[in-house]
Amino acid sequence: MRIRFPDGFIWGTAISAFQTEMGSSGESVFTGTDWFTWANDMDIIREGLVSGDRPQEGDGFWDLYEEDMKRAKSLGNNAIRMSIEWARIFRTPTFDVDANFERRGEGEPISFSPSPETFRQMQSIADLDSLKHYEKMIDFAHSIGLKVFMTLYHWPLPIWLHRPVECHRDILKAKERGWLDLRTVEEFAKYSYFISKTLGPKADSWETINEPEVIAINGYILGQESGFPPGINNVPLGFRVERNLAFAHNLAYKILKKFTGREVGIGTAPPYFEPATDSPRDVEIANTARYLNNEWILNAAIKGEFDNNLSGNPDEKIKDFGGTDYVGIDYYSRMRVRYSEEKSYAGVLPMEILPCENCSDFNWDIYPEGIRKVTGWIYRAYLKPIYILENGIADREDRMRGNFIKDHLASLSAAIYSDNIPVRGYFHWSLIDNFEWADGFSMRFGLYRVDYGTKERIRRNSAEIYEKICKGEEV
């Protein structure tokens, strides 16, 4: 069969900086992030929060990006999605840079007006070699016909903003608390400004923050289960983080729009929450899970509507706040849920998640129809164009990936042609195997297998299926 997509459709593969850059040389290894510290800390490893795999032994994309981008091009891709490592650019604090923030009553920064000195001060602090290296990456991608969809922030924070081990031990006494602190929001605005003035016009499209809800939920609400820094379980702190991330998006979105002239969006990772039965309680709990997992942050970041009491209805509306040119969707799986009085989710939601029926290596439930369903509800809720910025499967033996790709893209085609959803592009996660956060190298998502001893890339059979679809051929 031939799966139909519009002319001019964006076809790509996706990677992120921290997950792929290190491993090929001393220069490729960068130690100055919270995630590097977290993944290498022996106490955190012994506690079982992380795998013990070392991100510094990874893919080496920092040095090998040209060959990897050529691989993406060979797949029939016309774009690549990548990210910038904030801490590589600013290895030392930017606290003393002149900045003019308008703040709300509780000190929340609502707007940022850089002074004439702001850029010069930022430039004097920045690691210009790293900046130039990212510029070379963008230029090379363009030279072989790949557009660059750039993510400004894909999870690691500079260590000078977040000491994750100290926060794990005592979040209330720790000094550098990452996204719990409004200071991080302001430093992110400065970083956004500097990047917008340097790399901003070079990239073809921007995403401010990758999956902000995952940062909050996996780090602060389900931290003990997920292994994400700082590894705590505290629902109020999790939603404080989400609120701060919405303020960070608001600032970055306005800055990037002003200085780049490019489209700017935000990404989210919605599972398809499916009620286990048609009972009112199961339907209600599935809708509640969807709301708290994804709609809460999108309503805040895009509409400026905050549901501070988690009631299901916003109790605060901030004028001239947020916005987006598109919504990026990272879709992986279905979650079948039911109401439960015996079990709870995050200690507060009376919900049980049922075991996967068609399982990936991650035990995520493979459900191709879900990509159509989540794309539909997000478009209807926000009326913005859609990019699928991530969709893929952990499948070490490459037994399921080929059908996963075909079935999900057939479902996405139906969303476009049957449901009239303006989906502009699709990025498969991932081009190459990568460091899968707390799970290390065990989960293999790549169209190319990586031998981490030699850094050799070996093309998986499923890559041929994706290539044929990208090139409009029958599969």
> Which residue in the block uniquely carries the two structure tokens 């293999």?
444
How far apart CA 25 and CA 133 sit, in angstroms, is 14
**What would the DSSP string read from start to end of 302-340?**
II-EE-TT-SSS-SEE-TT----SEEEEE---EEEEEE-
- Catalytic residue (choose from 211, 242, 263, 305): 211
Catalytic-residue membership of 211: yes
Quick one: tokens of 402? Answer: 């080929």
How far apart CA 157 and CA 177 sit, in angstroms, is 10
Q: What is the dihedral of CA 449, 454, 456, 458, to 10 degrees?
A: -40
**What would the DSSP string read from start to end of 117-180?**
THHHHHHHHS-HHHHHHHHHHHHHHHHTT-EEEEEEE-S--BTTTB-HHHHHH-TTT-S-BGGG
How far apart CA 475 and CA 367 sit, in angstroms, is 20
Q: How many CB atoms lie within 10 A of CB 124?
A: 9
Residues 141 and 135 sit within 8 Å (Cβ to Cβ): no
| 469: amino acid identity, one letter | I
Catalytic-residue membership of 295: no
- Catalytic residue (choose from 21, 207, 263, 390): 390
Active site residues: 211, 390
